[in-house]
Structure 1
Amino acid sequence: MRILIADDHPIYAEGLRNLLLSYDYSVDGIVRTGAEAIREALRRRPDVVLMDLNMPEMDGIGATKKIVEQLPETRVIVLTGIEEEESLFRALQAGASGYLLKNLDAEELKRNLEDLASGRTPFSPGLEETLLREFQRGRNAGSGGVPTGEEPLTERQKSILARLAAGRTYKEIGAQLYISERTVKYHIKQIKETLDLDTQAQLISYYHSYLS
């Protein structure tokens, strides 16, 4: 796995680089700004970008969105000290494939990277519960909530939702399933209506709560 580090704290970034190398990961480089992250990602095409949020020139959210749009095969994992719900949801909506906090220990980081390689979405402890609360708010705010009993989603819808939860873009989902991006958007709209949910974060939480 080839990894690009985007973090404007030199000491932390160097320590992270050495840790990743000790686990036999290949580190493509360290960049200090969101704009540099985009440039280097496009040039090097890493498997993973570990993205801080607060950086000069462009923040990690903006850089994540640009990278995911242009490099659908590259996974962006947010690695930050920010635990705010808004940042978590914005990162997922921008296309991040996971959200980790910098207070995790070395073994947790290694395990989360292994999870990513296995197709799972890495989150720091407690953040999946945050997504679940958002999902529950969506249920409580709706008139019917998530249907119970018979499975409400078709196999096609579940396949799309699984890819969405794994951080795939609409364009990439369409390419994998041999359907248009417009059709993917239509299915996402139908899934939201079926489950009585409003946001992508709620959809991802539903997947992890009921389908993964």
Structure 2
Amino acid sequence: MIDLYGWTTGNTYRVLVALEETGLPYKTTPVNLRERDQDRPGFLALNPMGQVPLIIDNEAPFGRKITLSQSMAILLYLAEKSGQLLPAARAERAHALETLSLVMTDLVAPVNFGLSLEREEGSSAGLAFGEARAMRALAGIEQRLGACSFLSGGRFGAADCAAFPMIHLLGTGRLKDLPATLRWYREAQDRASVQRALAAIF
């Protein structure tokens, strides 16, 4: 059983999508960010960074319990554990990992940075920076999806799990000139695993 500590954030939802997609058994524990649960000693003992998501895999390889944070690291761990979410062929796997890095570095990180600056400092410049970087990343995503059904290649995988919550947050209005990405978004949104993840309550 995997224990998922999270809240209603894109970082948590990408892990939820991956868990639902792989079918690995899990249970959720809320870490209420509005109530500052992430700063309580009990949670800081698990993750000194005070961030969600965090997983504890009680049935990790070799009988060891593993505690892991950082959503990208968690996605890769779940891919290895399940044998899903990443292509087996080396070249395809390399391109899937490249796309995952693009999503996390050039889409997720700048948007989260801009949103944080707006929320904490009222900085519209930070939000504009995040928006510009996001649109460049979406252009790269569009190119990838023009050649593949999914960001991870021929099957829905880790890069798709990573991208969906952020593109869902950005909204379809930004996809009007990105037909391949809009097609992908609608197909991803209809997946049972994504629907179950979005319905998760914290």
State TM-score, norm by structure 1. Answer: 0.31
Higher helix proportion (structure 1 or 2) = 2
State TM-score, norm by structure 2. Answer: 0.32
